[in-house]
Chain A
């Protein structure tokens, strides 16, 4: 069974600092999705990466897919309080578009 391991579990940093969170698996991903979830809301899809080595940018967020497609990272530059939330990685598993999720990294940006 493919498991998604996310690290760190919690991260609290000051506004303006940079940070990186990680998503790893012992198996190869067919593709990898990143979501952000705010308290009391459903997760919102940020990006999907498909190709090994792929890099995608979303304003101050940079998503990277490992060359072997077994790991991914999310780097945030100059973090802002609005970046606070739970960051989840997810990957397809099996048929019918089923997706498995990591447990997430809970990020708190201090003003």
Chain B
């Protein structure tokens, strides 16, 4: 079966600390993968997407970066977190008719 895993579920990090969020998918090959951030009142904002290993497209300039070291692995990173990086981060992959989302990571920068 096709599944998507995202961790950790919650994270509290101090300002200036690094970040690494991981997303992996199972049961498919060469998926299109996406990182979204969901902030209160702003809906889901597309941050990065990847159509293959090493291929990353950024949608908005920001303090974050993404990497795809393996076909079914997508990583969201930051070298130094800002308060404004707080939010709910969602990984998704494209399936017929729409997206399948992971369960999300609630990041609080303090």
A-side interface residues toward B, CB under 8 Å? 31, 33, 35, 40-45, 48, 88, 90, 96-104
Min CB distance A86 to B, Å, is 9
Contact A96 B32 (CB under 8 A): yes
Task: Mark B47-70 against chain A: 1 for CB-CB distance below 8 A, else 0.
Answer: 001010000010000000000000
**Using a CB–CB distance below 8 Å, which chain B residues touch chain A?**
6, 32, 34, 41-44, 46, 49, 51, 57, 90, 92, 94-95, 97-104, 106
Does B101 lie within 8 Å of A44, measured CB to CB? yes
Q: Given A42-B92, A45-B98, A48-B98, A98–B106 Cβ distance below 8 Å?
A: no
Q: A48-B98, A88-B44, A96-B32 known; A40 and B57 CB under 8 Å?
A: no
Q: B97 near A33 (CB under 8 angstroms)?
A: yes
* A44 surroundings in chain B (CB, below 8 A): 101
Contacts of A98 in B (CB 8 A): 34, 46, 49
The contact sample of 9 A-B pairs, CB cut-off 8 A, is A42-B101, A48-B98, A88-B44, A90-B98, A96-B49, A98-B46, A98-B49, A99-B99, A100-B46
C-alpha spacing A43/B66, complex, angstroms: 21
B contact residues around A45 at 8 Å (CB): 95, 97-100
Given A88-B44, A98-B49, 17 extra CB contacts under 8 A: A33-B97, A33-B98, A41-B104, A42-B90, A43-B44, A43-B101, A44-B101, A45-B98, A45-B100, A48-B98, A90-B98, A97-B32, A97-B94, A98-B46, A99-B46, A101-B43, A103-B42
| Chain A residues closer than 8 Å to B95, beta-carbon distance | 45
A97–B33 alpha-carbon span in the complex (Å): 10
Enumerate chain B residues within 8 angstroms of A41, measured Cβ to Cβ.
103-104
**Chain B residues, CB < 8 A from A31:** 97
A42's nearest neighbour on chain B, judged by CB, is B101
